[in-house]
Structure formats: structure tokens, C-alpha cells
Chains A and B, each alone.
Chain A
Amino acid sequence: MADIKFSDAVIDTAGTVVNKCMGLEDAPCMSACPMSTDAKGYVNLIAEGKFEESLKLIREKLFLPNTLGRICAHPCEAKCRRGTEYGEPISIAALKRFAAERADDESLWDLTKADATGKRVAVVGAGPSGAQAAIELARSGHDVTILEKLDVVGGMMRVGIPEYRLPRNIIDHEYTYLTSLGVQFEFGVEVGKDVTLDSLREDYDAVILAHGAHKGSIVPVPGHDAEGVFSAADYLREISLTRSFPRAGKRIMVVGGGDVAMDCARSSWRIGAHAVVQCSLEDDETLPASEEEIREAKEEGVAFNAGWGPDEIYVENGRVTGIRIRRVLSVFDASGRFNPCYGDETKEFSVDTVIFATGQKVEDITSGALEQKQGGRYVVDANTLATSMENVFVAGDAAGTNIVIEAMAYGRKAGLSADRYLTGRTLDDGRDFSREFSYGTKLDVPIPEGTEDLPRLSPNLRDPRVRKRDFDECDTGFSDEQALKEASRCLKCECRLCMRECVMMNEFGSCPKDILDPLVNRGEMDPLLAYSCNGCDNCTIVCPHEFQLKKVFVGSRKDFVAANRGESPMKGHKVIKLHQLLGFSKFFTTKIRGRKK
């Protein structure tokens, strides 16, 4: 056959398909995950009872599935279509915990590393971002040392997230992955005090700052400097490390509406509080804390005053004796700026302790060498996390993330950048930054026919009256039966609707985009593909874009014929040729004009 030139109509239709086909688009859960964890994949493996395979899939992206299965803020669930359509998202995080508890084993851990490069990297901070950066760099063959101010690993997961949500032995065990990879730890080393950034830059080939945002903030209302006022960061850190906070009283007001505020309120019971009250500028509808945390805090008897802000802390003899809170009318002004507006209504509470869970800042450990912006976040290149110092990168909350899984994504990003730097490559050439964090998905398909609105499975929580008095884990996790049931609710979001209709396309690729890519990008198409289409339009009927693939497959046949001296390129069509000769031959045809009646 001569060189084939496909007609414009064929190429144009194929081009539109390749451009807009959603067949290769990721599910919303996966694209929402900053680490691009294949949630749909692992949830469905659980549904099939393939727990070990599920765990392995999780571990392709996450070194601490058991930890994240408990405390991940799960942006995946916010995008889950069971949530956006029915308000009942799949318990993706809890299923991850299930897979980890059911199937994780050190023998499954991937300890593959590139050949040693001889380069040394210091990572400041043993939180999730530092750990992830260390993992990327160790896998790339570099010598990595993590310097940690505390004596324990985990960072904010250890001293921010309470033990009753995340038992400490789980963090310690999952961090042994790093030691198995050869990452070194130096505990009790505070950069900026015990050692300077400058000396690290000299002693190591690259430095990654991942020391988090551990500096609490206190809103300067009257009385804020009294004895008995603490920041959430200090409060939770001390409770995490000692299971006590001797400076606190028995009647606690927690100011704030986020997960940290919930953690403070719930931790207060566990260190012996008699009364725990909350207030926050945000009202019930806009509370930023996760639904689970709010529900569990309420179950434990925390009194909510959502939509009320701190007005004045009452002080006697230098100590807190109470607080007055004031009704919030609005939090943001007309131009969308944070500018709370208060009404006249007030309430007073007799409390002896006030905890401000109103945001945390990044401490400067560079002695001013790196510029900081709002919240102490270092100024970095948003794509590469490089700083104004060529061998210093920043990861995690210190660079602006807010939750663990985001911090890990920044850790990975900083690690990838540092690796490029250490191996003499540019930081950005050929790199798809869009895939290094959450990204949008074009996937927009109808809910599968016959889908039932099935409720989300509730976690197995211990009795709130009992659990609020100890540090044991609240949630006891899913049973096999529960996990299978919950995982089976997954809608397996994908398009590829045409692939369920069409038999033949499945022989040529995974979706139209995949199948037509060679035609659009190289001008090539297998004639067997063009001649295997029945031209039935079943693909078009189910396609959300109503793509007429027939126009490409059947439409291209005249181009094949033109390139083949006027004949079909398919050997099998010799039969048709004969059939047509006979069908038009005198022997088999006739024409008769009926008589006049």
C-alpha cells in the first residue's frame, strides 16, 4: 500500500477526540490527592478481597498507610462522587487503615535504591514532609540525615495530632521504613541554636528545611497575656509528650473552629478537664474542622459556640477567671477580606484556661537569611521549592502546606528538586509540576445507571463517656465485612463508557484517546482498526461528548482505498468484491414495470 494521506475530516475528528476524550482522566479522588494516591484502585482491590495488593498499591505512593489511614484530612473524600452526589463519600482513609492493618508487612516494603552518589543531604525536621523528602533522596542514592529538634519522629503528627487518634507506636513502626532505607537520624538537634544553617550548608551538599509551623499564635484580645492562656501548639505538644499539662485548670475554653481546635478540646477531657467549651468566628455551617472531628467532639460533650468570637478574657491576680464572647455577624467583608464584624450579643463563661487554636506560624531558623511571608512561610519557588540559597530547599508547612498529605507532596517535590540540583540537572526541564500536587480532572461522566444511594459506613468508635477519659484510640477500625461493604460502594469513576459498548476498540487500546493518538500525532492507523468498526454508533450514544468515532474509522476507509489503487486493503474483502459483482450482474437482477390495472 502506498503512503496514506488521511483526509482533513478524519484527522480533525480524531484530533478533537484525542483532545477531549476523558478515557485517560484520573478519578476525582486520585487527582485530589496531593500525592496522587490511586484511591479508586486500592478501594476496589479491597472490595475484591485483595488486601495485600491494595496495600502494595497504597505503598507505591505512601510510606505510612497506617498513620494516614487514621489522620489524613482526606481531600480525596471531599471530591468523591458518592459525596458530591449523595453526601455520603466513601471512607477512603479508613479503608487505607484497614488495608494497612490487614496486610502491611515489612517484607512488602520497597527498599530499592539507586547507586550511591556520595552526596550528603541534611533534612531539618522528622515530620511527614521531611520524611518524604528523605525517602526521595535516599532512593536516589544520596546519603540523608534527618536532624530533629525533638527526641521522637513524626513532627506535627506526633506533637500536634493527639494520641487517641494516632497511637505513637504506629508512627514509630512506619518510620522504620526510613531507617531500612538507610536514612540517619540525629535527635535533639535544634537548627538555629545547636547548629547553624550556614554550617549545614557547608557540611552537606544540600539542605531541606522541613521544620513545620510549631509556633502558636494568640489573638491579642484584652487579657490574652494572663496566666492560663496558651497556644494550641504548646498545649498539644506538651500533652502529646507527657499526657498532661499541669499549668492548665479544669474549665477550658478553646478558641478556634479547625481540627486543631477539636484536638485541643478533646485532649482537655483526657487530662482531666471538668468543662470544655469552644468558640469560633465560623458558624456551624462554615466550621473548618472535619465533620468527623466535630461529631466526635460533640459526642464527648464539648459545648460549641460556633459563630462567637473572643471579646475579653477576664483576669484576676494575673490569672484567667473567665471569658466573654461576642456574636459574629460576618467574618469576611464585601471584598472577601478577613474582617470580622461583631454584634451586640455577648455570653460569659467562667473558665480558668483559654487555648488559642487560631493558626500556627513557622519559626525562623535561618537567622533572617531566608525571607519569610505571612505565617512565617519561607519565600520559595512555587514549582521547585528552591530558595534564594542555591542548595537550600523548603518543604511542608514551612513552605505553606496545611495538612499532612500536602506536606508529604511538598517533601517529595523538594526531594526531587534537591536530587536534580545534586546531579547537576536543571530544576524544571521536562518536569510536569501539575502532577506533583492535587490537580483538576476533566472527568465528567453521568452517575452509572442503577446506582443506589448507599450510606457511608460509620467508624467503630468507643463509647464517648469512656474514651474521653483515656488516651487509647477512639476508632477501632473496620472489620473485614465492613471494609468489603464500604469499598463496594465505590462508583469506580471513569469514562470509557464507549469501551463497554464497543467490542472491537478493546482490541486496539484502552480508550479512544489512546487508540487515536498514533493517528493524530504520527498520521498512522492500523487498517484493521478502521475496518473492524461496525459503524453502529453505540459509542456515540454513550459518549458524554457524543464523539462520532465512526467518522474516523469508517470515514478513513476511502483514504485507505485511495492509497491502495482503488481497492480495500483488507484481504477478506475479496469476498465483498465478488459479492458485489454478482449483486449487480444481470443473472441476479431484474426490473419489471407492473401492468396497468
Chain B
Amino acid sequence: MADMVTKEKRYGFMPGCSLPSYNPEAVAKTIEFLNATFPHFSAVQKCCGKPTKAVGQYDLFKERFAGLQADMDDMGIEDMIVACQSCFLTLKEASSTPVTSLWALWPKIGFPDDLKGKAADSDIVFTIHDSCSTRYEEELQDGVRWIMDQLGYQVHESKHAKERTRCCGFGGMVVPVNPEIAQKVMVKRVETLEKENVVVYCAACRSSLLKGGAKAWHILDLIWGPVVNEGDDSPMDVLASPIKSWVNRYKAKRGIVHAMR
């Protein structure tokens, strides 16, 4: 985790891949918020190259990551804020730029006053599904819980939370190779969540949990979207459609440009 938050530094933000493909509006609002928070701020939309690395193409990964690093350097970014846990780990390992998770950052910069306690009257109880890639990143996990508390939502901690979380089924680029196994993992994950309504902080996890039979919201849906109540349906599985995903990715790019104006 990067150093203390300081307004002297130039922060950057990258939304990753699955989040802009799922919810471009949430990306834009997050950037607006960060841009308003930090005096020096840049935004980048590009893949971190994790999928290339995960299939074993290490040389190609290095090449691709160098492109991202050049973008970050070009934008003068001194600390990169990420919303994706794979980006977090990839940058932590491969980048010369310090990396901060958006979820760990939020408690340090404070929650927008107009959003505080917005769900205090909601009767829904969420289980948090932690991303397995950051199972040992306690600060990040605590930040998610802090955000849920700021929003005013009730949270149930399942037995398989934080360090003991289970894979949603998406990791390791298994889905296109062994979809039957991936589907079984998704169902198994949902079975161990104890509650029907799940909040996640990874859009790919959200898609997997929907496939596994749960109702799932991204935490940015809860922050920027309407208050959710017991019985509400969760947003559709956008990532299941490649066309919608790429359209959204493009929309996110436009949204970033707009938000940074």
C-alpha cells in the first residue's frame, strides 16, 4: 500500500477492464469524485495485462505492461488508484509507480456527505464476497466494510470471508478453457455465501455470482446508484454479452474524457 494520502502528489485512476465493461456510469462518477478530491489528478483506461500473464505469455505481458507504464509516466502519475484487485496485484508486482486500492483509499479521504447513511432505512442484508486474489489485503477488505457502513447498509459476515474467501470461478482464465468447471465453482461459491444478496468489489466476481445463482451488486452500484431494498433485483449480467461489454467499455472511455473536462 502506498504512503499516506497527500494533496501534493499527482494521483491517477484506472478502472480496469471488467468494471468499465459493466458500469461506465459508475466509472465516470468515481473519476468525477476523485478529480474533485485531488488537486493533481490523471486518468488512464487500459488493461493491466493480467490475462496475458495468466495464460503464461510472460514476454508479451512485459511488453504490454510497459505500454501501460508509459501511459502512467506520461500522465505524471505518482500514485495509481485502482478499482480492480487484479490490477492492484499486477501493478504492485510489475510497476515502478506505487499503487493504492480505491477501497483502501476511501476511508482516508472521507465519504461524500450527501451519500452518508443513504441506505440507513434499507431492510436488505448483504453478504460481502471478497475477491480471492486479495485475500490477504486486509486494509482493502476493511475499506469495503467501511464504505458499507458509511452507506448505512446491513452486512452479514459469512464464514468464508476475507482471508477465507472462496474463488468466484472467474480466476485463472479458466472460463473459456473449462466452462463446466468454472460453472461448478460459481455454484459452489454461491452455496457458501449464506445470504442471497451479495456485494462485491469486482465486476467479474459479480458476473460469476449471478451465474452461480445469487443476486449481486458491485459496491459502486450501491455508492452511485439507487438505494437497494430486500426483494430488489440486482442489475443484469452485462458481462455475459461481449457486445454490450465492449460498447460499455467505449462508453466508459468517453465518460472519462467527459468527467476530466
Chain A residues engaging chain B, CB cutoff 8 angstroms: 501, 503-504, 507, 528, 531-538, 541, 553-554, 556-561, 566-568, 570, 572-573, 575-576, 579-580, 582-584, 587-597
Q: Which residues of A contact B75 (CB under 8 A)?
A: 591-593
- A591 in contact with B42 (CB, 8 Å): yes
- Bound-state CA distance A554–B52 (Å) is 12
Q: Which residues of A contact B17 (CB under 8 A)?
A: 583
Interface string of B104-127 (1 = CB under 8 A from A): 000000000000000000000000
- Bound-state CA distance A554–B260 (Å) is 39
Q: For the complex of A and B, list the 10 residue pairs with the smallest distance between their C-beta atoms, beginning with the closest.
A: A557-B56, A536-B167, A583-B47, A572-B176, A534-B171, A561-B56, A594-B41, A568-B55, A536-B132, A535-B172
Assess A528 versus B177: contact at CB under 8 Å? Given A557-B55, A593-B75: yes
* B135: interface (CB < 8 Å): yes
- B256 in contact with A590 (CB, 8 Å): yes
- Bound-state CA distance A503–B55 (Å) is 20
- A533 in contact with B45 (CB, 8 Å): no
Q: Which of the residues B46, B59, B132, B135 comes within 8 Å of A584, measured between beta carbons?
A: B46
Assess A589 versus B178: contact at CB under 8 Å? Given A534-B169, A576-B51, A580-B52: no
Q: Which residue of A lies closest to B261 (CB)?
A: A595
Q: Which of the residues B132, B164, B172, B185 comes within 8 Å of A503, measured between beta carbons?
A: B185
Q: Tell which of B91-99, B147-155, B223-231, B246-254 binds the partner.
A: B246-254
- Bound-state CA distance A504–B173 (Å) is 13
- Bound-state CA distance A323–B188 (Å) is 72
Q: Which residues of B contact A534 (CB under 8 A)?
A: 132, 167, 169-172, 174, 182, 185
Q: Which residue of A lies closest to B55 (CB)?
A: A568
- B45 in contact with A558 (CB, 8 Å): no
- Bound-state CA distance A532–B184 (Å) is 12
- B181 in contact with A590 (CB, 8 Å): no
* B145: interface (CB < 8 Å): no
* B71: interface (CB < 8 Å): yes
Interface string of B184-221 (1 = CB under 8 A from A): 11001000000000000000000000000000000000
Jot down 27 A-B pairs with beta carbons below 8 A, ordered by A.
A503-B185, A504-B174, A528-B177, A531-B177, A532-B174, A536-B167, A541-B163, A541-B164, A556-B56, A559-B56, A560-B56, A561-B56, A566-B57, A566-B60, A568-B55, A568-B56, A570-B55, A570-B177, A573-B177, A583-B17, A583-B46, A584-B47, A584-B67, A588-B249, A590-B46, A590-B257, A597-B39
Q: Which residues of B contact A553 (CB under 8 A)?
A: 172
* B29: interface (CB < 8 Å): no
* B54: interface (CB < 8 Å): yes
Q: Which of the residues A538, A573, A596 comes within 8 Å of B166, measured between beta carbons?
A: A538
- B176 in contact with A594 (CB, 8 Å): no
- Bound-state CA distance A572–B75 (Å) is 36
Interface size on B, residues (CB 8 A): 57
* B232: interface (CB < 8 Å): no
Chain B residues engaging chain A, CB cutoff 8 angstroms: 17, 35, 38-47, 49, 51-52, 54-60, 64, 67, 71, 74-76, 132-133, 135, 163-164, 166-167, 169-174, 176-179, 181-182, 184-185, 188, 246, 249-250, 253, 256-257, 260
Q: Which residues of A contact B178 (CB under 8 A)?
A: 504, 528, 531-532, 572
Q: Which residues of A contact B167 (CB under 8 A)?
A: 534, 536, 538
Q: Which residue of A lies closest to B167 (CB)?
A: A536
Q: Which residue of A lies closest to B246 (CB)?
A: A582
- A504 in contact with B46 (CB, 8 Å): no
- Bound-state CA distance A576–B47 (Å) is 12
- A590 in contact with B44 (CB, 8 Å): yes
Q: Which residue of A lies closest to B45 (CB)?
A: A590
Q: Which residues of A contact B170 (CB under 8 A)?
A: 534
> In the assembled complex, how far is the CB of residue B147 from the closest CB belonging to chain A, in whole angstroms?
24
> In the assembled complex, how far is the CB of residue B152 from the closest CB belonging to chain A, in whole angstroms?
31
- Bound-state CA distance A579–B171 (Å) is 15
Q: Which residues of B contact A504 (CB under 8 A)?
A: 174, 178, 181, 185
Assess A503 versus B57: contact at CB under 8 Å? Given A534-B169, A576-B173, A592-B75: no
User: Total A-B residue pairs with C-beta atoms closer than 8 Å?
Assistant: 157
Q: Which residue of A lies closest to B135 (CB)?
A: A537
Q: Which of the residues A541, A573, A589 comes within 8 Å of B46, measured between beta carbons?
A: A589
Q: Which residues of B contact A597 (CB under 8 A)?
A: 39
Q: Which residue of B lies closest to A501 (CB)?
A: B166
Q: Which of the residues A538, A554, A584, A592 comes within 8 Å of B172, measured between beta carbons?
A: A554
Q: Which residues of B contact A584 (CB under 8 A)?
A: 46-47, 49, 64, 67
> In the assembled complex, how far is the CB of residue A556 from the closest CB belonging to chain B, in whole angstroms?
8
Q: Which residues of B contact A587 (CB under 8 A)?
A: 250
- B176 in contact with A576 (CB, 8 Å): yes
> In the assembled complex, how far is the CB of residue A161 from the closest CB belonging to chain B, in whole angstroms?
50
- Bound-state CA distance A554–B55 (Å) is 8
Q: Which residue of B lies closest to A575 (CB)?
A: B176
- B185 in contact with A535 (CB, 8 Å): no
Q: Which of the residues B38, B42, B49, B51 comes within 8 Å of A592, measured between beta carbons?
A: B42
Q: Which residue of B lies closest to A564 (CB)?
A: B56
- Bound-state CA distance A561–B253 (Å) is 32
- Bound-state CA distance A531–B51 (Å) is 12
Q: Which residues of B contact A528 (CB under 8 A)?
A: 177-178
> In the assembled complex, how far is the CB of residue B108 from the closest CB belonging to chain A, in whole angstroms?
19
- Bound-state CA distance A554–B174 (Å) is 11
> In the assembled complex, how far is the CB of residue A575 from the closest CB belonging to chain B, in whole angstroms?
5
- Bound-state CA distance A503–B246 (Å) is 31
> In the assembled complex, how far is the CB of residue A420 from the closest CB belonging to chain B, in whole angstroms?
47
Q: Which residue of A lies closest to B254 (CB)?
A: A590
- Bound-state CA distance A570–B182 (Å) is 15
Q: Which residues of A contact B41 (CB under 8 A)?
A: 594
> In the assembled complex, how far is the CB of residue B7 from the closest CB belonging to chain A, in whole angstroms?
10
> In the assembled complex, how far is the CB of residue A270 from the closest CB belonging to chain B, in whole angstroms?
57
Q: Which residues of B contact A554 (CB under 8 A)?
A: 54, 172
- Bound-state CA distance A592–B188 (Å) is 41
Q: A575-B176, A592-B43 are in contact. List 19 more A-B contacts (CB 8 A).
A: A503-B188, A504-B174, A528-B178, A531-B177, A534-B167, A536-B132, A537-B135, A556-B56, A558-B56, A559-B56, A561-B55, A561-B56, A570-B55, A583-B17, A590-B256, A591-B45, A592-B256, A593-B76, A594-B35
Of B41, B164, B170, which is in contact with the most chain A CB atoms at under 10 Å from its CB? B41
- B76 in contact with A573 (CB, 8 Å): no
Q: Which residues of A contact B176 (CB under 8 A)?
A: 570, 572-573, 575-576
Q: Which residues of A contact B133 (CB under 8 A)?
A: 535-536
- B71 in contact with A588 (CB, 8 Å): no
Q: Which residues of A contact B57 (CB under 8 A)?
A: 558, 561, 566-568
> In the assembled complex, how far is the CB of residue B92 from the closest CB belonging to chain A, in whole angstroms?
16
- Bound-state CA distance A568–B71 (Å) is 27
Q: Which residues of A contact B76 (CB under 8 A)?
A: 593
> In the assembled complex, how far is the CB of residue A450 from the closest CB belonging to chain B, in whole angstroms?
11
Q: Which residues of B contact A583 (CB under 8 A)?
A: 17, 46-47, 51
Q: Which residues of A contact B246 (CB under 8 A)?
A: 582, 588
> In the assembled complex, how far is the CB of residue A281 from the closest CB belonging to chain B, in whole angstroms?
53
Q: Which residue of B lies closest to A555 (CB)?
A: B56
Q: Which residues of B contact A503 (CB under 8 A)?
A: 181, 184-185, 188
- B43 in contact with A588 (CB, 8 Å): no
